[in-house]
Copies of this chain bind each other. A is one copy, B any other.
Amino acid sequence: MSPASDPAQIEAVRLRMVELGFHVDLARSGDRPILCGSGIDELQSYDHLRQLRGWSSVDDVVFSQPSTKFLGKSPQTIDLGGGVVVGGSAIVIFAGPCTVESETQLFETAEAVSRSGASVLRGGAYKPSTSPYSFRGMGLPGLELLAQAGKRFGLKVITEVMDPRKVDLVAKYADILQIGARNMQNYDLLHEVGKISKPVLLKRGLSARYEEWLMAAEHIALAGNERIILCERGVRSFETGTRNMLDLAAVPVMKALAQLPVIVDPSQGTGKRELVTPMSLAAIAAGADGLIVEVHANPDQAVKDGAQSLSPDQFESLVPQVQAVARAVGRSVLVPTKV
């Protein structure tokens, strides 16, 4: 409470806390009264407690319990089937084009990344685009191509869903549903992917704090789906020399906080092809459980984000470097068992 609080103000806050069910202790720090509540679950009274912040005599309300009921309790691994487990000792590599453009483009890329060591194929069928005059993705035919390519080349498939009305449709074709950075706090979408049985990759919002990212994941978990993978993909900053600022400290922080697997997107996280390799290696050294890398059969012809896409050759030379760093930190890269 404010140091200037009078006894009546202190008593009013105390009574309100008692009314909410708390046992209340009064202490003093310097000349500041502190009311400490205990005895009940704070999350039950979340809004009511925060409400006290608006009282003129109250300087701050600090919660002392974790802000989650589902996440952060015990380490989770996400088993995608077929031996692909995210969050175990093996690093899982997700790779593929930014956007599905055509069968040829997708299949060529999928074949290449499969051969080089990827276990999961990425590719956008529905694309968020800053400009409405930019390509928005192939939609359903893109989903079908992804599923076919995954099957053909023994890859699990991940693709983004943006619209809560399309969650069931996307879940039919994809092994993992991706929530993009722009939608990290699109709660209706989070609740919808919380109702399905497929795992969800939750990208960090453009300027999301760790706690907010955790809470977004908890929204999904509370809706019923705890199979969540987190993805650090760079945040917005003042720096104009890279597209985003890749915050690798997020990897150990979020693993500890959420006890979920955390992978890293070095393509989106830097926006520059020549930074993908060093940032991939750094991510693994920081403890990431996987990478999601943009690869295009012909980056110069990529409809989107060509500047941050690797060619198949560049990807092929990345993987053994990732393996070397993985071994240095006591891990390995998952070797997909192709049927």
Contact = CB atoms under 8 A, between A and B. Distances in A.
A165 B162 contact: no
B215 A132 contact: yes
A245 B240 contact: no
Nearest to A242: B249
A128 to B, nearest CB: 6
Given A28-B36, A65-B30, A281-B329, A47 B185 contact: no
Contacts of A34: 27, 34, 36
A27 B30 contact: no
A135 to B, nearest CB: 5
Contacts of A239: 209-210, 235, 247
A286 interface: yes
A37 interface: yes
Interface stretch (A81-89, A111-119, A168-176, A294-302): A294-302
A248 B55 contact: no
A36 B29 contact: yes
Contact of A37 (B29, B279, B299): B29
A241 B210 contact: yes
Interface string A53-88: 111000000111101010000000000000000000
Interface in A298-339: 299-309, 321, 324-325, 327-329
A215 B131 contact: yes
Given A28-B38, A36-B27, A64-B30, A253 B275 contact: yes
A130 B215 contact: yes
A157 interface: no
Interface residues of A, number: 109
* Candidate in A218, A242, A278 with the most chain B CB atoms within 10 angstroms: A278
A164 interface: yes
A260 to B, nearest CB: 16
Nearest to A65: B30
A212 interface: yes
Interface of A: 3, 25-32, 34, 36-38, 42-44, 46-47, 50-51, 53-55, 62-65, 67, 69, 128-136, 162-165, 182-183, 185-189, 205-207, 209-212, 215-216, 218-219, 222, 235-242, 245-249, 251-253, 256, 269-270, 273-275, 278-279, 281-287, 299-309, 321, 324-325, 327-329
Give me the 4 closest cross-chain CB pairs, A-B, nearest first.
Answer: A54-B306, A27-B27, A285-B285, A29-B36
